Amino acid sequence: MQSLDLDVLSDAQRWLAEGHRVSLLTVIDTFGSAPRPVGSMLAIRGDGRISGSVSGGCVEDDLILRATRGEPLQHPQRLTYGVTKDEATRFGLPCGGTLELVAEPLLDASWISELLTRCGEHQLVARNLDLQSGKVALSAAERSDELMFDGTTMRSVFGPRWRLLIIGAGQLTQILAMMAAPLGYAVFVCDPRDTYAEAWDSPLGTYLPGMPDDVVRELPCDQHTAIAAVTHDPKLDDMALLEALRSPAFYVGALGSRANQAKRRERLAMFDLSPEQIARLHGPIGLYIGSRTPAEIALSILAQMTAVKNGC
């Protein structure tokens, strides 16, 4: 499973190959309360079929009418919805919000193929669209890059801008990796236990051989990385945590009961970790939702990661 924006491009590529006319819309700016964030995309086929969303349904109907009944796009253009209060109400934009889009005709799918291939190799790719010529150029991007629009060029970023390193390769990891992919995470898995390592055969996460502490150091783990220790083996989880809590990783969590987490913090304090570093540990991992099954635990973990990532 891949991120939602790549799903939109995959659909657009397939439609072009089938001979359909396709237009692509990208959110470049929002004001007030907007249903979808900057960078959200919508592909519209000539017959009105859509993939993705730019407003959660507020302006999609109007965009479909433009695509199916109006003149086909010949070159990229800028669209604005909700400039006035009446228009915002008409299109259902909450709180008088304003939505700015770039609409473009997709005439060539070659750049989509290259972009999808590079993203499949865990590369971050910047797509540069010249609004005057309609030409697209791809280049390397950094995880800190954001969508940029200067009036003539739109630069958007594709690929896994966030990384999740999971220590442990059991059933919970399978489900966690599956849920993390649509959220834009590149998933990496480390488990030095032979039986688990040999059993891991999943396209959802890249297996990294080695001991957990070495893997955390070598990845390396930056401010766009989350680390979840879920082996339930203190020897392995604690090895990863010793390095993870020293790293800039935005999230560090470990599976285990409150009693076990208290003992874990006592063990971690025996090493050269400061109280502030130990306090970064989310343990028990995840938001409390009364979870029992692996799927519920994975949901609670990703909910907590998302809250931390978004500064909540």
What pLDDT does 253 receive?
Answer: 97
Q: Over its length of 312 residues, how does the chain's per-residue pLDDT go in tens digits?
A: 457 788 899 999 999 999 999 999 999 988 765 567 889 999 999 999 999 988 876 788 889 988 888 777 888 999 988 755 555 555 555 545 678 999 999 988 899 999 999 987 778 899 999 999 999 999 999 888 889 999 999 999 998 778 999 999 999 999 999 999 888 898 999 999 988 888 887 788 899 999 999 999 998 888 889 999 999 888 899 999 999 999 999 999 999 999 999 999 999 999 989 999 999 999 999 999 999 899 999 999 999 999 999 888
What pLDDT does 85 receive?
Answer: 55
CATH topology assigned to domain 162-309: Rossmann fold (3.40.50)
What pLDDT does 12 receive?
Answer: 96
Cross-strand partners of 226:
164, 251
81, 180, 207, 263, 277 from 2: Cα distances, Å = 30, 9, 17, 38, 33
What pLDDT does 91 receive?
Answer: 53
What pLDDT does 67 receive?
Answer: 87
What pLDDT does 306 receive?
Answer: 96
Tokens of residue 28, six digits: 């470049």
Residue 290: burial class (beta carbons within 10 Å; 0-12, 13-18, 19+):
exposed
Please name which of 87, 102, 75 lies closest in space to residue 32, comparing C-alpha atoms: 87
What pLDDT does 137 receive?
Answer: 95
Tell me the domain boundaries of the chain: 4-158, 162-309
- Contact in structure between 187 and 180 (CB atoms under 8 Å): yes
Spatial distance between the Cα atoms of 196 and 1, rounded to a whole number of angstroms? 22
What pLDDT does 27 receive?
Answer: 93
What pLDDT does 121 receive?
Answer: 79
